[in-house]
Amino acid sequence: MKLILANPRGFCAGVYMAIDVVDQMLDICPNETIYVYHEIVHNRHVVERFKRRGVKFIEDLSEAPDGSIVVFSAHGVSPALKAEADSRNLTTVDATCPLVIKVHNEAIRYARAGYQIFLVGHADHQEIIGTRGEAPDAIQVVECPEDIPNLEVKDPNKLVYLTQTTLSTDDANVIIAALKQAFPTLKEPPSEDICYATTNRQRAVRVLAPSADLTLVIGSRNSSNSVRLTEISQNVGTPARLIDDRSELDPSWFAGVNTVLVTAGASAPEDLVQELIVELIEKHGGEVEQHDVYHEQVEFGLPGTLKELMRARGIDPTGRRVMRKDADEAMGAWLDRHGIGHRTVDLTVGATH
């Protein structure tokens, strides 16, 4: 069986940063309980690994005692939640991805300028809850084209749309086209809200899935961008399965399958991909081909709130930075160590993000 490994896959810059924030907190506050509001990233393994190190995940701020330390997850929170934390005298560290903060800032700016905002995304997703909270009176969430007739419009010349960062570009384009048809004066966001990591992982699947009989996506079911990768594969005609790890593999999926595409959502750890490769090679034999569709170079620094906390505790944050690791390079060395044959196919088109 041929295994095609999609690149890019797995951790994005925002996830590296958010995980690193909790790692650093465990390092600099060894004797305090670290509370994390919501899953730090939407991945079961990441959350369980932190739980084993003593981190407490909460869905309501009342679960954190007054004066304790709370980390806000990569998905962002509303100003109301931040105000509640302040009123409770909580020490907060904000691990919101900078690309989510960008959408928050757009929402604030347009609402102040008197615009009504159509926020395209999933109403119950943590990111949309946080963004909507920036301007609840100005924002209406649009989940699908069927929502459009119910939108209330005060001034057709003051309308703008924004989007969740992890949408399927295919689905978003359909909704945005329907919005533009209904409201021809609708303004676009100043720059694309669907983030580079979502776009690149989806693009890799769109390019590679047609050559495969089955796509396996490592990721959790509550990970929006992971679910979207399965949909993109299905959109190009290749069945796809979303699995948290190799234990969820079902032998019946492989009947008549000669080529499998393996990818991972932006919050899925690379070691789970490695374990999956071993399992597939042991059971079905064959070689691994790493297909590079895009090389990513994006890195984010530590959040300002974490640096403040470090300084308050006498730690110089200068030398501490989030290290992005190249999944493909690491995988090549790992495959060599395990004696698994592999080659790299370069499909990049020159652009690097």
Count CA atoms within 13 Å of residue 57 on its CB side.
Answer: 17
Considering only residues 43, 73, 116, 225, which one is a binding residue for ligand SF4 as defined by CB under 6 A? Answer: 225
State the Cα–Cα distance between residues 81 and 104, nearest whole angstrom.
14
Using the minimum distance from each CB to ligand SF4, give the nearer residue, 166 or 220: 166
Verify binding: residue 197, ligand SF4, rule CB under 6 A.
yes
- Long-range contacts of the stretch 34-37 (C-beta < 8 A, 24+): 34/69, 34/71, 35/63, 35/64, 35/68, 35/69, 35/70, 35/71, 36/70, 36/71, 36/73, 37/61, 37/64, 37/70, 37/71, 37/72, 37/73, 37/77, 37/81
Instruction: Please identify, among the stretches 81-89, 193-201, 323-331, 338-346, the one whose residues bind ligand SF4 according to the rule CB under 6 A.
Output: 193-201
Q: Please identify the residue of the shown chain whose CB is closest to the bound ligand SF4.
A: 14
Considering only residues 3, 4, 7, 14, which one is a binding residue for ligand SF4 as defined by CB under 6 A? Answer: 14
Extract the runs of DSSP E, i.e. beta strands, from the chain. Answer: 2-7, 34-37, 56-58, 69-72, 91-94, 116-120, 139-142, 159-163, 214-218, 240-243, 259-264, 287-292, 342-346
Spot the catalytic one: 127, 134, 270, 289: 127
Contacts of 66 (CB under 8 A, 6+ apart): 88, 89, 90
Q: Tell me how far, at minimum, the Cβ of 228 lies from ligand SF4, in Å.
A: 10
Tell me the sheet residues that pair with 187. 160
State the Cα–Cα distance between residues 55 and 34, nearest whole angstrom.
5
State the Cα–Cα distance between residues 231 and 219, nearest whole angstrom.
13
Q: What are phi and psi of 169, to 5 degrees?
A: -65, -35
Q: Tell me how far, at minimum, the Cβ of 326 lies from ligand SF4, in Å.
A: 16
Site residue total, ligand SF4 (CB under 6 A)? 15
Contact pattern for ligand SF4 over residues 15 through 34, marking x by CB under 6 A: x-------------------
Verify binding: residue 13, ligand SF4, rule CB under 6 A.
yes
Q: Tell me how far, at minimum, the Cβ of 146 lies from ligand SF4, in Å.
A: 26
Using the minimum distance from each CB to ligand SF4, give the nearer residue, 68 or 168: 168
Using the minimum distance from each CB to ligand SF4, give the nearer residue, 14 or 121: 14
Verify binding: residue 3, ligand SF4, rule CB under 6 A.
no
Q: Tell me how far, at minimum, the Cβ of 142 lies from ligand SF4, in Å.
A: 19
Instruction: Please identify, among the stretches 11-19, 43-51, 245-253, 254-262, the one whose residues bind ligand SF4 according to the rule CB under 6 A.
Output: 11-19
Verify binding: residue 73, ligand SF4, rule CB under 6 A.
no
Instruction: Please identify, among the stretches 31-39, 146-154, 195-203, 326-334, the one whose residues bind ligand SF4 according to the rule CB under 6 A.
Output: 195-203
Q: What are phi and psi of 296, to 5 degrees?
A: -105, 140
Identity of the residue numbered 74: A
Using the minimum distance from each CB to ligand SF4, give the nearer residue, 242 or 281: 242
> 127 catalytic, yes or no?
yes
Contact pattern for ligand SF4 over residues 161 through 180, marking x by CB under 6 A: ----xx--------------
State the Cα–Cα distance between residues 15 and 222, nearest whole angstrom.
15
Identity of the residue numbered 194: I
Count CA atoms within 13 Å of residue 212 on its CB side.
Answer: 31
Using the minimum distance from each CB to ligand SF4, give the nearer residue, 116 or 223: 223
Using the minimum distance from each CB to ligand SF4, give the nearer residue, 133 or 219: 219
Residues 91-130 that bind ligand SF4 (CB under 6 A): 97, 99-100
Residues 247-286 that bind ligand SF4 (CB under 6 A): 266
Extract the runs of DSSP E, i.e. beta strands, from 8-133. Answer: 34-37, 56-58, 69-72, 91-94, 116-120
- For tokens 């295994």, what's the residue? 3
Q: Which residues bind ligand SF4 (CB under 6 A)?
A: 12-15, 74, 97, 99-100, 165-166, 195, 197-198, 225, 266
Q: Which residues are catalytic?
A: 127
